[in-house]
Every structure is written in C-alpha cells, then in structure tokens.
Amino acid sequence: MNPIHQTQSLFRLLKLLTITSFFAGLAFSAFAAEDEHQEGEHEEEEHTEFAEISAAMAAEQGIRSTTVSSGELELTLQLFGRTTPDPQLVSHVTARYPGMIREIVPELGGTVEAGEVIATIEANSSLQTYQIRAPISGTVVDKHANPGEQAMEQTLMTIANYERLWVDFTVFPGDTQHVKAGLNVNVTMDHLSADGRISYLNPSQSNSPTLIARVPLDNPQGLWSPGLLVEGQVVTEQASVDLLVDNNAIQLFEGGQVVFVQEGDRYYPRPLVLGRSDGRFTEVLDGLSAGESYVVENSYLIKADLEKEGVEHDH
C-alpha cells in the first residue's frame, strides 16, 4: 500500500476511536450520574426519620395529637413576696377605763365572735364593772392580761381574722414599667395556689428603689397564714399570635427543639423556630403551618423510639 494511503487510513482509524471513546464517555457519565442520583435518593429516603405507630397502639400509649392554630399568649412576670395580715382585720383590745381585771374569757389561740364578751373590768374610779366585747370575729393571737391584774393602757389581747390576707410583692426597678394596679396575679406556694389582683403599688420603706405591689388574698378556709414566702405570676400582656403549640409537645431532639408531626400512622420530628412563651404555650415563628397535626401528649415516647433506632443504626 502507498505510504500516503497508509497514513490517511491510520488518521481515519484514530479519529473513529476518538469519537467512539467520547460518546462512550458521555454514556458512562450519564449512567454514573443516574446511579449517583438514585443512590442519593435512596440514601435520603433511608435518613428520613419517622416513627410508625398504629392508631390502636397510640391510644394505648396515651399519644394524643392536636391541631396547630392561632391563639392568645398570656405573658407573665415572676415576683416574690410575703403574706401579711390585713390591718383592718386585726384588733388590739384595750380597756376603756383603768381598773382591776375581774374576768378575761378567751384563751390564747381561742376563737371569738364579734360582740362576744371577752373581759370584765372593775373601774378604779367608780368601782363599777363594765364589759369589753370583741370588736371583730377572729382568733386570739396574742394575750397580755389575766384576772387580778390591772388594766391600764396596755393591750389586753390581739384578735386577728385571717379570712383575708395581703400579699406584698417586691417589684424591682427594671420591672416597674410592666407592673401596675389592676393586673391579675396567680399566687403560689408549694401545692397552694390562688388568684388575685394588684390593688395598688407603694414605695418600699428604708429608701429602697423597689415598689411593693399589694394583692388582697381571700382565705376563707384558712389555708394561708401570715409570714409565708410566696411567688406570683403577674399577667403583664395578652398577645395574639398566628401560630402556637402546647409546651408539653416540645422536645429536644438532635440538638434542636422539635414537635412530632402526625401524618397518618407516621410521626416525623419537625424542627421549629420559636418565639414568645407564657409557660403553657409558645409562639411558632417557623416550622409549622396552621392545620397540621402534632403530638401534644406523651411525645417523649416517640423521641425515645427514634433515639433508640438511631443508636441501633449506628451500631
């Protein structure tokens, strides 16, 4: 064969091999990309976390869901205070005229009714006896006299009625702009709880920059007594929000705050961006839509199930 023809044939062969290799490469890349895409989808599907619980099992475990909606937040401020007697319901009994105490009826700790005779005094000036009657109903909480003693200007006994008390809450300067007369207050101590309203604010004594918020406290059953250290949640603002969730639903999961959204028998962790809270409900800024169903009771069971599956998957 002519050397020129041989050279031309060689160039044509190399050109054909190059074109074939190019298209083979495109085909390989396409197949590789498709495989990678399918693998990614499969991997993403494997990592979509959810717990599957039948309706019967959810009912048995007490897992209950509710619907995301708008609502009202009651924003509160925590105050600390002490219960004190109502001065109008405390009476310090004295004798009208100096004289000998002939009789004094109630014992320390005893109860009396308004108008009941509590002492008989023989006046020094006239030697006539007169009676002292209880000015209020209540309990004898202090007593300083006995028969045979002279009644002068001293207090014979103190009668107190604790069916109504005062709670004096301390309001620090940074909180005075939020606290005013008329605001509702929930007063608590251990297992005791009562609702009241701030009647007025007074400056503290001893040149303190704090204020005293006074709350009358009805106490008909005598469950509260003077001198108790109590807490108060003052409702400072009522705010309408577009979306809120029950605080019982919020769980810490994989480093973030979530609720578990229910879709049929599947429960998915949904990360949230949260706003204000009143201790019972929390505003949702992002992560949920109105009408979605989320677990409000026993959501920790779903969290525990997912965490257990995560540990088993890691091993």
Q: Is residue 12 very low, low, confident or very high in pLDDT (cuts 50, 70, 90)?
A: low
Same domain for 81 and 214: yes
Q: For residue 40, is it within any domain?
A: no
pTM: predicted TM-score of the whole model, two decimal places = 0.63
Closest CA to 250 of 237, 261, 238, 264: 261
Helix, strand, or coil here: 242?
strand
Q: Is residue 237 very low, low, confident or very high in pLDDT (cuts 50, 70, 90)?
A: confident
Q: For residue 272, is it within any domain?
A: yes
Same domain for 209 and 188: yes
Cβ–Cβ < 8 Å for 134, 116: yes
Dihedral class, residue 138 (left if φ above 0, else alpha if ψ from -120 to 50, else beta)? left
Same domain for 264 and 203: no
Same domain for 99 and 61: no
- pLDDT reported for residue 47: 45
Q: Which residue range forms the structural domain that includes residue 308?
A: 51-73+240-314
Q: For residue 174, is it within any domain?
A: yes
CATH number at residue 56: 2.40.420.20
CATH number at residue 186: 2.40.30.170
Cα Rg of the chain, angstroms: 40
**310/153: higher pLDDT:** 153
Q: For residue 36, is it within any domain?
A: no
**295/19: higher pLDDT:** 295
| pLDDT above 80 for 43 | no
Among 160, 193, 211, the domain-final residue is 160
Residues 151-181: tens digit of each pLDDT: 999 999 999 999 999 999 999 999 999 999 9
Q: For residue 25, is it within any domain?
A: no
Helix, strand, or coil here: 221?
coil
Pairing mode, strands 229-246 and 184-189: antiparallel
Closest CA to 85 of 3, 165, 16, 170: 165
> What percent of the residues of the chain are helix, what percent strand, and what percent coil, each to the nearest 5?
25, 45, 30
Same domain for 181 and 304: no
Same domain for 259 and 297: yes
In the chain, the percentage of residues whose pLDDT exceeds 90 is 75
Q: Which amino acid is at 195?
A: D
Q: Is residue 135 very low, low, confident or very high in pLDDT (cuts 50, 70, 90)?
A: very high
Residues 195-228: tens digit of each pLDDT: 999 999 999 877 789 999 999 999 999 999 999 9
Q: Is residue 238 very low, low, confident or very high in pLDDT (cuts 50, 70, 90)?
A: confident
- pLDDT reported for residue 88: 94
Q: Which residues contact 146 (CB under 8 A, 6 or more apart)?
A: 101, 104
Among 238, 268, 290, the domain-final residue is 238
Same domain for 206 and 81: yes
Residues 75-121: tens digit of each pLDDT: 889 999 999 999 999 999 999 999 999 999 999 999 999 999 999 99
C-alpha–C-alpha distance, residues 83 and 225, integer Å: 7
Q: Is residue 35 very low, low, confident or very high in pLDDT (cuts 50, 70, 90)?
A: very low
Among 136, 160, 184, the domain-final residue is 160
Tally of CB atoms within 10 A around 14: 10
In the chain, the percentage of residues whose pLDDT exceeds 70 is 83
Same domain for 192 and 102: no
Q: For residue 1, is it within any domain?
A: no
- pLDDT reported for residue 28: 32
- pLDDT reported for residue 41: 45
Q: Is residue 311 very low, low, confident or very high in pLDDT (cuts 50, 70, 90)?
A: low
- pLDDT reported for residue 313: 56
Same domain for 181 and 122: no
Same domain for 262 and 220: no
What integer is the mean pLDDT of 134-140? 97
Cβ–Cβ < 8 Å for 201, 214: yes
The count of structural domains within the chain is 3
Residues 271-296: tens digit of each pLDDT: 999 999 988 999 999 999 999 999 99
C-alpha–C-alpha distance, residues 285 and 306, integer Å: 25
Same domain for 81 and 176: yes
Q: How far is CA 286 from CA 50, 243, 244, 262, 294, in A?
A: 20, 9, 10, 17, 15
Closest CA to 86 of 180, 163, 157: 163
Same domain for 223 and 81: yes
The total number of residues written for the chain in this structure:
315
State the residue for tokens 């390989």. 28
Q: For residue 32, is it within any domain?
A: no
